[in-house]
Amino acid sequence: MSTINDVALKAGVSVTTVSRVLNNRGYISEATRAKVYKTMEELNYQPNELARSLLRKQSNLIGLIIPSVAHPFFGELTNHIEYYAYQNGFKVLLCSSHMDPAKEKDYIAMLKRNRVDGIIMGSHTLEVEEYRNLNSPIVTFDRQIDNEIPFISSDNYQGGVLATELLISKGCRYIVHICGNLELKMLSNYRNDGFKDTAEKHGVRHITIQTDMNVFDQQQYEQIIQRMLETYPDVDGIFASSDIIAGFAVRECLGKGKRVPQDIRIVGYDDVNMASWFIPGITTIKQPTEAIGRLAVELIQQQLNGESFEPDNILPVELIERSTS
Amino acid sequence: MSTINDVALKAGVSVTTVSRVLNNRGYISEATRAKVYKTMEELNYQPNELARSLLRKQSNLIGLIIPSVAHPFFGELTNHIEYYAYQNGFKVLLCSSHMDPAKEKDYIAMLKRNRVDGIIMGSHTLEVEEYRNLNSPIVTFDRQIDNEIPFISSDNYQGGVLATELLISKGCRYIVHICGNLELKMLSNYRNDGFKDTAEKHGVRHITIQTDMNVFDQQQYEQIIQRMLETYPDVDGIFASSDIIAGFAVRECLGKGKRVPQDIRIVGYDDVNMASWFIPGITTIKQPTEAIGRLAVELIQQQLNGESFEPDNILPVELIERSTS
DNA sequence: TATTATATGTCAAGCCTTTGACATATTGAT
DNA sequence: ATCAATATGTCAAAGGCTTGACATATAATA
């Protein structure tokens, strides 16, 4: 790889001059500018960002830690984050924790070693303390660390309310919420609060079933749903905390000879693309994935610029009715 | 962020000594080693990888260019690539081209500026020439650039054969292959060859329908399939070039009142997780995504090490029978 | 003509880390 | 007492780039 020196030499100018055209500062004649660009072209020169970052103390790198990009929700979220990062001159370093605390810790250290300008945390297997004192701009998704660190989440409580109201309005009298582990202090737990409050308000029987915190575990989902269907055969409404779980619920119900939505109604969460591809299409609570992605990048940028920012970002959800309700 | 200097100062040793414990070279007493580690801990020191990379002329970064991580197949592939990259001490810089040649070109330049150790190309919107002379280790997925640059693909021809044989053996007499644009010289075009050869061998009527090269275009898929179903109402077998397209095909067929698989049989490609979640489960040709991911990283590593490597990597496919055939 | 804006050059420090060359001390073994 | 292994230190260069300070020269303007 050629260096700025090679360019200067070949173009017959000083490195300072090349640096000046590269960074658009000081006086440069059009002729010199053109000559330098031409030489860079000829030498196939690309300024070394490692050296630049080292000097500037800014890498334009954003670290993104998520459970897995193979999960449709995180895949779509990552897609939007990557898009807006690129728009704002950032590159994204992808880290999949696979819900392994050791790996997550490792990744955080790695990101610090690489001097990322900020970290977007979509995976939360560590204790809250571990995330403090990272002294790097952070944005958190679906988890509140403290008042200093901004978080983004969808309006989980409202999502729970909307889903539950729908089930009840359609006539469900015995509803279940299948969600992640409530021990983890995730903001998504509010979905369960919305669910319970609404069910109680309407005097509807309700139970909550927690899954382990595995990202994807087809077997576990199937088992939990089967057991639930056996233990509570009278359930006539399911609010699942992801469209994938909802999909499995549909599958198991149909397998058990229950008609959806006539015998049992099912509402998911997320509104991943897949939710509309399923047959029947899954009724769900839409998270504004694109807005979340955009905001995440913005919040990093704002912290970087020393601007003030909103620490609590709860984005609106929307009920999308399809065929499972 | 503290530097190696701060550590040396605080620990009361020289930077050379710190560097020695950091890199495990030269003589170091256990006492000093412990003292240095303790100080690093206290200062929350993380060696600056930018400086190290600059010096070593090696960044341990792999650039991954794909159409979109929101696409299930690429999401799963990315997941595996990230996994094996991490295992081998690499970090992944994620780039989503969204099938935009300008963006892809930009990304390539960006990756060079960042001195990535290698590039895994899963998006191919540029002319073959553009990929040559990148003088960086490259691995290509589903496209052959030249004999120097290694490629990986599934056994597309065999995939086409397996899918077609299955349809015919189940009694299909008029089959259609829905695939991407054949103009692009992608290795996946061989699926169509396998399809045609097999259909002709058995004397079965067959047609090929190409889609545009958009990653995801629900509308387009629906339209193409609807039009196909209207134009060729006698079609009784579909080989779709992705599970997503297959999913839409199932949906449209059921919508038109055709029974799957009784009236029309459908086979997909990829075997993304989703294919088994669909109702009915989609019969498909499985690409060995994990093996592809592992091999991609290995091929970068081998090129980096100056080892010899296999340029042509065609990985076996497998027929997965579910309920649409 | 004097002044100013424009254009380029030289020089050197600094970003953080690694590494080789070399020097000096302290051990323990012979 | 001597030698070698062990342990640490000093010093400086290198990696590629940016930037400020200063110097110089040409062209345009007052």
Domains of chain A: 4-47 (1.10.260.40), 61-154+289-315 (3.40.50.2300), 156-287 (3.40.50.2300)
CA-CA-CA-CA dihedral for A303, A307, A308, A310, to nearest 10: -50
Bigger pLDDT: A161 vs B135: A161
Burial class of residue A234 in the structure, from the number of CB atoms within 10 Å of its CB (0-12 exposed, 13-18 middle, 19+ buried): exposed
The string of pLDDT tens digits covering residues B142-175 is 999 999 899 999 999 999 999 999 999 999 999 9
For residue A123, give the amino acid letter: S
- Complete DSSP assignment for A266-324: EEEEE--HHHHHSSSPPEEEEP-HHHHHHHHHHHHHHHHTT----SEEEE--EEE--S-
The string of pLDDT tens digits covering residues A70-81 is 999 999 999 999
Q: Which region, left, alpha or beta, applies to residue A61 given φ > 0 means left and ψ of -120 to 50 means alpha?
A: beta
Q: Binning pLDDT at 50, 70 and 90, where does residue A131 land?
A: confident
Spatial separation of the C-alpha atoms in residues A151 and A104, rounded to whole Å: 18
Cβ–Cβ gap B115/A50 under 8 Å: yes
Q: Binning pLDDT at 50, 70 and 90, where does residue B130 land?
A: confident
Paired residues of B94 in beta bridges: A92, B64
pTM for this predicted structure: 0.96
In the sheet with A91-96, reading across from the earlier edge strand, the strands are A312-315, A151-154, A138-141, A118-121, A61-66, A91-96, B91-96, B61-66, B118-121, B138-141, B151-154, B312-315
Q: How many helical (H) and strand (E) elements, i.e. helices and strands, does chain B have?
A: 13, 12
Pairing of β B265-270 and β B237-240: parallel
The whole-number average pLDDT for the span A148-173 is 97
Q: What percent of chain B has pLDDT over 90?
A: 90
Helix-, strand-, coil-residue percentages of chain B, each rounded to 5:
45, 20, 35
- What confidence score (pLDDT) does residue B133 get? 76
Tell which of A2, A23, A69, A274 to mutate to test the B interface (max B CBs under 10 Å). A69
A46, A96, A112: residue with CB nearest B79: A96
- What confidence score (pLDDT) does residue B273 get? 96
**Distance from CA(A95) to C1'(C19), angstroms, rounded:** 32
Q: Binning pLDDT at 50, 70 and 90, where does residue A134 land?
A: confident
Lowest-confidence segment of A13-27, B75-89, B94-108, B211-225 by average pLDDT: B211-225
Please report how the helices A30-43 and A15-23 are oriented relative to each other, as an axis angle in degrees rounded to 10: 100
Q: Are A293 and A83 in contact (CB under 8 A)?
A: yes
A133, A247, A279: residue with CB nearest B250: A279
Q: Check whether A124 has a pLDDT greater than 90.
A: no
Q: Binning pLDDT at 50, 70 and 90, where does residue A46 land?
A: very high
The whole-number average pLDDT for the span A222-230 is 94
Nearest residue for D14, CA–C1': B55
Give the rounded distance of the alpha carbon of B179 from its chain centre.
Answer: 18
Q: Binning pLDDT at 50, 70 and 90, where does residue A321 land?
A: very high
* A:B CB pairs within 8 Å: 139
Pairing of β B91-96 and β A91-96: antiparallel
Tokens of A239: 């609010």
- Complete DSSP assignment for A56-115: HT---EEEEEES-TTSHHHHHHHHHHHHHHHHTT-EEEEEE-TT-HHHHHHHHHHHHHTT
Q: Check whether A128 has a pLDDT greater than 80.
A: no
Give the rounded distance of the alpha carbon of A122 from its chain centre.
Answer: 5
Q: Check whether A33 has a pLDDT greater than 90.
A: yes
For residue A215, give the amino acid letter: V
Cβ–Cβ gap B133/A78 under 8 Å: no
Helix-, strand-, coil-residue percentages of chain A, each rounded to 5:
45, 20, 35
Q: Are B47 and A113 in contact (CB under 8 A)?
A: yes
- What confidence score (pLDDT) does residue A4 get? 97
**Distance from CA(B16) to C1'(C22), angstroms, rounded:** 14
Q: Binning pLDDT at 50, 70 and 90, where does residue B127 land?
A: confident
